[in-house]
Amino acid sequence: MFEQLDRELHFGFQKNGSLVVAKGPEDEATLQTLLERGATNGVRNLRIVDQAELRKMVRHTTRPGLHAETPAR
């Protein structure tokens, strides 16, 4: 719906994916659970990114995260 509205209203809608960052070691297990749940629900391009890769995306982080890329059009 947002894509159609942007074509009509030109407000700059952009799909940019989703990112969930672990707050601590206990949250890292939650990332795995979310990854499995996403796979079960058919979410594509979902993966756990390590600390080094996540730092390239979000400069001030020291934890891994779960990233869902926006599919290419």
pLDDT digits (tens, 9 = 90+) for 56-67: 877 777 777 877
Q: What is the pLDDT of residues 10-56, one digit of tens each?
A: 988 877 778 888 888 888 899 999 999 999 999 888 999 988 888 88
Distance CA(56)–CA(41), nearest Å, equals: 28
Q: Where are the domains of the chain?
A: 15-68
Please check whether residue 65 is in contact with residue 11, taking contact to mean a CB–CB distance below 8 angstroms: no
Whole-model pTM? 0.63
